Amino acid sequence: MADAESFRNLIGGQNVPAASGATFENRNPADSSDLIGRFADSGPEDVARAVAAAKEALPGWRVLPAPKRGEILFRAAEMLARRKEDFARDMTREMGKVLPETLGDVQEAIDMTYYMAGEGRRQFGQTTPSEFVRKFQMSVRSPVGIAGLVTPWNFPMAIPSWKMMPALVLGNTLVIKPAPDTPLSTVNLLRVLEKAGLPPGVVNMVTGGGEAGAALVSHEAVGVVSFTGSTATGRKVSEAAARLFKHCHLEMGGKNVLMVMDDADLELAVDGALWGGFGTSGQRCTAASRIVLHKTVYAEFAEAFVARAKKLRVGNGLATGIEMGPLINEAQLAKVESYVKIGQEEGAKLLCGGARMAGAAHARGHFYEPTVFGDCTSAMRLSREEIFGPVVSLIPVASLDEAIEVGNSVEYGLSAAIYTRDVNKAFRAMNEMDTGIFYVNAPTIGAETHLPFGGTKNTGNGHREACIQALDVFSEWKSIYIDYSGSLQRAQMD
């Protein structure tokens, strides 16, 4: 994209502008002079049109045999694989994370699309023996209807695919509203689905901000809402969905802990903490923003970790050798700055970082130094609240019991990890940590598409993404009884 392009909404297979004619700019967070494109700034009228298109397409799509729906997804996965590097470069431009990470983001979309293509032939139900003779019974999945998807900016192709592909293979139609910071990656994904043979109106997209998102989740014709974002916004989505008894899936915040025990391989633990804390500039719901360290290894780990953090090469994610990119926008940069100030006021010891990055290479981007605080306590806001930036807190503890207590002390329950050579410690921690994901001798990030993804407590509302559990979000169970006895047989009575 040598020149800035104008992008419109996708409604009923047509590219249409926002009803108001308004647009917004999408700029590179590493270089604000790089205008990626102008996108439709949508409102309730645009959402209503998109939902109407999804409703019109629903009868034809839901009766298309599921294996045929799966074949369309399979073709889309093949196309994504062929365009992987192009889409990754687009994503680095609009989101900022380094190219190896955006290649991984696109690969997640490829994996999920292949996986759900297979579910076109594997939407298994149950068959069970009846209480009566000459009676057969089974259960089958049915699509909910129209899905409303609201997706974040940090994984702008992976997370849309987590939601779209299971919804589609089940026979739902949908409207997606991507984050206004990263709409191009969703455009690229939808263009692939269109080329793969997806009928018009099955997938619709409106771009814009909170007004469009609120209109989508509250639209009475939308049967299921799937949202990934902050806990505060997720609570509003839940309340809006509850008023209309919608199905609602929420994937929200995290304040993940990486526990390093006294018998850990410290070199491996430092590697994991560096990737967990500063991958995607800390802008992951699974980021390892808390490192809980046994006091006997605290000093050695802290020295090695800080030395490595100081050496991280920060810059434009498309440049060779860059290890960490910018924050997504100025607001996120200001949020990180505010938490660094809070940490200092709380008495945490700033070990490195703590400032915006200056110099010609960083002047036009939202860059912040990899930041480490030492001598933190579990009571500090720095250790309890989600920052979503390259800020890591080091918390000393005296035992595994204390590490687990600290790990569970926050309102979130997404991911946790332990570094230890003791299998008993590992099993105790994986059993007692109240999280949806747990790692042993690996950081808190790195989920794969063929296991369920999601968390406990204020991280979510009990549903899971990825794997076959994603099908439960977008389907209803129908139990079917077939009595071929020729007589009335009354369950539990005869």
Segment 445-489, tens digit of pLDDT: 999 999 999 999 999 999 999 999 999 999 999 999 999 999 999
Based on the residue annotation, tell me whether 108 is a catalytic residue of this protein.
no
Residue 269 parent element (H or E): helix 266-278
| Domain of 93, in residue numbers | 5-252+460-479
Q: Per-residue pLDDT tens for 292-311?
A: 999 999 999 999 999 999 99
Helix and strand totals (H; E) in the chain? 15, 22
Whether 251 sits among the annotated catalytic residues: the reply is: yes
Task: Tell me whether residue 26 is in a domain.
Answer: yes
**CA triplet 235, 155, 472: central angle to 5 degrees?**
60
Closest C-alpha among 447, 105, 450 to residue 251: 447
Place of tokens 């100081």: 310
Q: Which pLDDT does position 358 carry in this prediction?
A: 85
CATH number at residue 71: 3.40.605.10
Which residue shows structure tokens 């026979």?
Answer: 171
- Candidates 173, 163, 238; CA nearest to 466 is 163
Tokens found for residue 359: 């110099």
Q: Which two tokens stand for residue 136?
A: 């057969």
Q: Please indicate, yes or no, whether residues 106 and 184 belong to a single structural domain of this protein.
A: yes
Are 111 and 217 part of one and the same domain? yes
In a domain, 447, yes or no: no
Same domain, 265 and 305: yes
**13: phi then psi, degrees, rounded to nearest 5:** 85, 0
Mean pLDDT of the chain, nearest integer: 97
Q: How far apart are CA 493 and CA 381, in angstroms?
A: 60
DSSP structure string for 351-382? EE--SB--SGGGTTS--B--EEEES--TTSHH
- Tens digit of each residue's pLDDT (9 = 90 or more) over 310-328: 999 999 999 999 999 999 9
Does residue 201 sit in the same domain as residue 346? Answer: no
Neighbours of 298 (CB within 10 A): 20
Which tokens hold the place of 316?
Answer: 């434009």
Q: Write down the pLDDT at residue 3.
A: 65
Please list, in sequence order, all residues whose beta carbon lies within 8 angstroms of the beta carbon of residue 378, skipping any fewer than 6 positions away: 384, 395, 406, 409
- Which one of 94, 108, 119, 251 is the catalytic residue? 251
| 157-180: pLDDT as tens digits | 999 999 999 999 999 999 999 999
Task: Centre a 10 Å sphere on the Cβ of residue 379 and count the other Cβ atoms it contains.
Answer: 11
Residue 160 has which token pair?
């849309």
Does one domain contain both 431 and 387?
A: yes
Q: Which residues pair with 257 in a beta bridge?
A: 290, 416
Is 453 domain-assigned? no
Of the pLDDT bands very low, low, confident and very high (cuts 50, 70, 90), residue 2 is very low
Shared domain check, 107 and 178: yes
How far apart CA 78 and CA 91 sit, in angstroms, is 19
Question: Per-residue pLDDT tens for 178-218?
Answer: 999 999 999 999 999 999 999 999 999 999 999 999 999 99
Average pLDDT for 427-442: 98
Residue 296 falls inside a structural domain:
yes
Residue 399 in any domain: the answer is yes
Strand, helix or coil for residue 399: coil
Tokens, residue 386:
């989600």
| Cα distance between residue 217 and residue 244, in whole Å | 10
SS3 category, 245: coil
Q: 70 with 189, same domain? A: yes
At 24-71, the pLDDT tens digits run 999 999 999 999 999 999 999 999 999 999 999 999 999 999 999 999
CATH code where residue 426 lies: 3.40.309.10
- Which amino acid is it at 120? G
- Number of C-alpha atoms within 13 angstroms, CB side, residue 296? 7
Q: What's the rounded mean pLDDT across residues 399-413?
A: 98
Cβ atoms within 10 Å of 347's Cβ, excluding its own: 12
Considering the domain boundaries, does residue 486 fall inside one? no
d(CA 413, CA 285) in angstroms, rounded, equals: 10
Q: What is the pTM of this model?
A: 0.96
Q: Are strands 371-374 and 349-352 parallel, antiparallel or unpaired?
A: antiparallel
As a whole number of angstroms, the distance between CA 9 and CA 23 comes to: 11
Domain co-membership, 174 together with 303: no
Q: Are residues 183 and 276 part of one domain? A: no
- The answer for residues whose C-beta is within 8 angstroms of residue 3's C-beta and 6 or more apart is none
Per-residue confidence (pLDDT) for residue 287, from 0 to 100:
98
User: Mean pLDDT, to the nearest integer, of 397-413?
Assistant: 98
**Domains of the chain: total:** 2
Domain-embedded: residue 448: no
DSSP-derived 3-state class of residue 39: strand
Element (H, E) at 79: helix 66-82
473 is a domain residue? yes
Question: In the structure encoding, which two tokens stand for residue 484, read together?
Answer: 């071929």
Please tell me whether residues 331 and 432 are part of one structural domain. yes
pLDDT in tens, 134-144: 999 999 999 99
Burial 89-109 (b: 16+ CB within 10 A, else e): bbbbbbbbbbbebbbbbbbbb
192 with 309, same domain?
no
Residue 394's CB is within 10 A of a number of other CB atoms, namely 24
Task: Report CA dihedral (259, 264, 265, 267) to the nearest 10 degrees.
Answer: 40
Q: Given a cut of 70, is residue 130 above it in pLDDT?
A: yes
SS3 25: strand
Active site residue: 94, 119, 285, 376, which one?
285
Give the DSSP letter string of 133-190: TTEEEEEEEEE-SEEEEE--SSSTTHHHHHHHHHHHHTT-EEEEE--TT-HHHHHHHH
Confidence of residue 1 (pLDDT cuts 50, 70, 90): very low
Choose among 203, 242, 202, 248: nearest CA to 226.
248
Q: Is the pLDDT of residue 242 over 50?
A: yes
Same domain, 155 and 287: no
Residue pLDDT, tens place only, 320-356: 999 999 999 999 999 999 999 999 999 999 999 999 9
> Which tokens hold the place of 405?
């207590």
